[in-house]
Structure 1
Amino acid sequence: MTGSANLNVMTSTARRVGRALLKDFGEVENLQVSTKGPGDFVSRADRNAEEMIRTALMEARPTYRFLGEEGQEIEGEDPTRRWIVDPLDGTTNFLHGMPHWAISIALEHKGKIVAGVVHDPVKDECFFAEKGEGAWMNNRRLRVSGRTKMIECCFSTGLPFGGRSDLPATLRDLGRLLPACAGVRRWGAASLDLAYVAAGRYDGYWERRLNAWDIAAGIIIVKEAGGIIEPLNPEGDIMADGELICAAEPIFEKFAKVIRG
């Protein structure tokens, strides 16, 4: 797929930052680590990656706004367009030497996500999508799963850490879902969970208490792959609330009914 100039900037930036992060990943035991909060770690590699992304995107589009996980939001002359970036989604995996983490870059226009990139450097898988142009992984077009029976489906979620307030709700979700499906996975990187739904690897995904940078790129990748994505609370707002549920159309209603109780 030949993307727009914006998408090309996003993918080239994600790949360049991915190469830099791979070098740090190879020396993970030497990383300087500080604690941001319970179970939430930030590394020197994380901060450096965001700086690299911000520099590249702001040089390419100096009028756009910029929101990243590690710094304050930067206002731009164009209030309608905003980069939303997670420089290292799956930081805990990264710091423990587990090869499942990604760079997530999204472009928002007038409050809607219009392009997204989720790049997994370890596996050399770059997932991307642009509004109206489909979803892709490297050179392969993506489509969500076609399974229709819950008992054949594999789902993904995140598990709250450190006694977070949403732990009881997640345990209730699992209590309803596990008897009805083929399995649930928790791999610790929301952007890749969404990308895997788009690729048909997972049949669906849900999670609470996410941030905009965790999910922005993945949202459009799922939609462009033919998936359905909604707020967990049907009256809610995904980006504002950080709660979502998504799946392929044939299974969505059954899945949502189980999760929403």
Structure 2
Amino acid sequence: MPTDFTQLSLDLAQLCRETAKFIRQEAASFDRGKVQQKGVSDLVSYVDQETEKLLVAGLRRLLPEAGFITEEGTTGADTRAEYTWIIDPLDGTTNFVHGLPCYSISVALLHHSELVAGVVHEVAQDESFRAVRGGGAYCNERRIHVSDVAELSGSLLATGFPYSKFDRLDAYLAVLGQFMQSTHGVRRVGSAAVDLAWVAAGRFEGFFEFNLNSYDVAAGLLLVREAGGHITQFLEDGDPLFGREVVASNGRIHQAMQATIAEFWA
């Protein structure tokens, strides 16, 4: 049983840093013909699967008693009561496949129902974002904080586009249109983990997206919280980790973001 989550997070960051080297190596000669499709716009490659195997092997050395929630399912149904690793081995697979340099490794540790450590490693820029419950958030060992912008009109937001379950598309587009008119702009980076890390670092003031999975957001949620930000579901506090929708912000614009979403999201 770990007693020092800070040291565990440092070890986790090093594991992600080493694993990122494999992804960069594969990116240099990646063959798009080897891509599989879960859906029209939901892609998976051997790089996702092999990266997950490397991470799982390393995490088992770090914390043998922990179970796993993984995107690619390489561990099978392996969840346990006390500690659970939540892993997205390559968040932004579509970017990776098309050669767009923004994709990440996201790993978080859940203790019962509480996130206690997390790392988002943005592979192309080799930026390591790390957080520990009660211990703050860091980027490459530099302490980070959310921005101090207080008005929606001075904010830059991030979002993600749905790639399945388009039944809420009209409402989402209405929300997006309103934010486009009331902020400095809305960006679609292509990795929810990176979006959340960049909210934590003060690069974005806010982020919103729906149809998310726990492995997309787990590490990023902890980063935002530890950097001084706020996280809810679209219309209420709810459960952003498993609730499939997230509003994350610097806290100062959070009420305005939720009020804007509430105009169209019922």
Matched with 1:74 is 78
Residue segments in structure 1 that go unaligned for 5+ positions in a row? none
Q: Please report how far the alpha carbon of residue 140 of structure 1 lies from its aligned counterpart in structure 2 after TM superposition.
A: 1.1
Deviates more, 1:177-186 or 1:81-90: 177-186
Deviations, residues 93-120 of structure 1 (Å, cap 9, x unaligned): 0000000000000000011111110001
The question of whether the paired residues in 2 share the 8 Å contact of 1:31 and 1:45 is answered with no
Alpha-carbon separation, structure 1, partners of 2:246 and 2:199:
13
Q: Secondary structure at the match of 1:244?
A: strand
Cα gap change, 1:163 to 1:68, in 2 (>3 Å)? closer
Q: Cα RMSD over matched residues?
A: 1.6
Q: Please report how far the alpha carbon of residue 9 of structure 1 lies from its aligned counterpart in structure 2 after TM superposition.
A: 2.5
Matched with 2:125 is 123
The question of whether the paired residues in 2 share the 8 Å contact of 1:231 and 1:237 is answered with yes
Q: Does 1:181 align with 2:183?
A: yes
Aligned amino acid, residue 205 of structure 1: F
The question of whether the paired residues in 2 share the 8 Å contact of 1:24 and 1:31 is answered with no
Alpha-carbon separation, structure 2, partners of 1:36 and 1:161:
10
Q: Please report how far the alpha carbon of residue 240 of structure 1 lies from its aligned counterpart in structure 2 after TM superposition.
A: 2.3
Aligned match for 2:47, one of 34, 40, 45? 45
Q: Please report how far the alpha carbon of residue 248 of structure 1 lies from its aligned counterpart in structure 2 after TM superposition.
A: 1.0
Q: Secondary structure at the match of 1:239?
A: coil
Alpha-carbon separation, structure 2, partners of 1:242 and 1:218:
14
Q: Please report how far the alpha carbon of residue 35 of structure 1 lies from its aligned counterpart in structure 2 after TM superposition.
A: 1.2
Deviations, residues 140-197 of structure 1 (Å, cap 9, x unaligned): 1111011122222110111123672231121011122111111000111000000000
Cα gap change, 1:11 to 1:235, in 2 (>3 Å)? closer
Matched with 2:207 is 205
Alpha-carbon separation, structure 2, partners of 1:211 and 1:229:
15
Residues 6-85 of structure 1 mapped to structure 2, 5 A cutoff:
6-29=8-31, 32-71=34-73, 72-76=76-80, 79-85=81-87
Alpha-carbon separation, structure 2, partners of 1:139 and 1:240:
29
Aligned match for 1:234, one of 230, 236, 251? 236
Q: Secondary structure at the match of 1:82?
A: strand
Across the two proteins, how many residue pairs are aligned to each other?
258
Cα gap change, 1:15 to 1:235, in 2 (>3 Å)? closer
Q: Secondary structure at the match of 1:245?
A: strand
Q: Secondary structure at the match of 1:4?
A: helix
The question of whether the paired residues in 1 share the 8 Å contact of 2:70 and 2:87 is answered with yes
Q: Please report how far the alpha carbon of residue 61 of structure 1 lies from its aligned counterpart in structure 2 after TM superposition.
A: 1.4
Q: Secondary structure at the match of 1:240?
A: coil
* TM-score normalised over the length of structure 2: 0.92
The question of whether the paired residues in 2 share the 8 Å contact of 1:100 and 1:187 is answered with yes
Alpha-carbon separation, structure 1, partners of 2:79 and 2:110:
14
Alpha-carbon separation, structure 1, partners of 2:5 and 2:239:
28
Cα gap change, 1:60 to 1:163, in 2 (>3 Å)? closer
Alpha-carbon separation, structure 1, partners of 2:59 and 2:212:
24
The question of whether the paired residues in 2 share the 8 Å contact of 1:135 and 1:143 is answered with yes
The question of whether the paired residues in 2 share the 8 Å contact of 1:69 and 1:213 is answered with yes
The question of whether the paired residues in 1 share the 8 Å contact of 2:102 and 2:123 is answered with no
Aligned match for 1:166, one of 154, 165, 168? 168
Q: Please report how far the alpha carbon of residue 254 of structure 1 lies from its aligned counterpart in structure 2 after TM superposition.
A: 1.5
Q: Secondary structure at the match of 2:146?
A: coil
Give the fraction of aligned pairs with identical amino acids, expressed as a percent. Answer: 36
Alpha-carbon separation, structure 2, partners of 1:253 and 1:143:
19
* TM-score normalised over the length of structure 1: 0.94
Aligned match for 1:106, one of 105, 108, 131? 108
Deviates more, 1:33-42 or 1:99-108: 33-42
